[in-house]
Amino acid sequence: MAILEATQIHKSYGNKFNKQEVLRGIDLRVEKGEFVSIMGASGSGKTTLLNVLSSIDKVSLGSIKIEGKDFTGMKEKELAEFRKQHLGFIFQDYNLLDTLTVKENVLLPLSIMKVSKKEADQKFQQIASELGIYEIASKYPNEISGGQKQRTSAARAFIHDPSIIFADEPTGALDSKSASDLLNKLSELNRKINATIIMVTHDPVAASYCSRVVFIKDGQIYTQLNKGEETRQHFFNDIIRTQGVLGGVQA
């Protein structure tokens, strides 16, 4: 079952005298439970694609459906409600509130959904245990490591059972061990709860954790790789080869 369907997505900036076309007719379908990575060189349009798929930015042309509902024409109030119900976000710079504890940061999406304290506590215990942050629940962001901050950000994204998790360079600010810890946790959640994750990354190691990699070049889909039954190492090698053909992916 397709959880996301993007059809003929175009995105331009500027005006008719000075127009920059960033996305040029992209079609993308993501099935429920997929872990998809979007890769491409700097300026290829990968971040713009993530932004329009996640409703952060508006398309110039085309339609995007999540759970069969096209959100591209929604007014801001309706769109805010749609995001609240269906979308989770993990950002490179964590986006945590320094004045809130780890637990309070994670529970933010539930607090605006009027979930009972008992249910919220149960959900927190479950997701925080999965992501290895339950023991630091009462600490503040400035008291924990970058890896713990990103796992807190991930817990906040998963806590309300969204239709899709969007991750923008989630390992970009992490050392290799913290990055690998996070990616292993995301892979586990992808398998255990059939979570759908769409991640932008420039890192072939991060992409090798995914089930499919979509390569963007000049605002269009250049090619795609499916992991299938391959080992992560073999898939990593395939990604590196494809990057070579593509001309290399820059940070």
Q: Where are the beta strands (DSSP E) in 75-125?
A: 87-91
Place 69 in a pLDDT band, splitting at 50, 70 and 90: very high
pLDDT per residue as tens digits for the range 119-176: 999 999 999 999 999 999 999 999 999 999 999 999 999 999 999 999 999 999 899 9
User: What phi, psi does 113 have (nearest 5°)?
Assistant: -100, 5
Average pLDDT, the chain: 94
Q: What range defines the domain where residue 118 resides?
A: 32-58+74-245
20 domain residue, yes or no: no
The answer to whether residue 217 scores a pLDDT higher than 70 is yes
Strand partners, 64: 6
Q: What is the CATH number of the domain that holds 115?
A: 3.40.50.300
Burial class of residue 156 (count of CB atoms within 10 Å of its CB; 0-12, 13-18, 19+): buried
227 domain residue, yes or no: yes
8 domain residue, yes or no: no
237 domain residue, yes or no: yes
The answer to whether residue 216 scores a pLDDT higher than 50 is yes
Q: What pLDDT is stored for residue 96 in this prediction?
A: 96
Burial class of residue 107 (count of CB atoms within 10 Å of its CB; 0-12, 13-18, 19+): buried
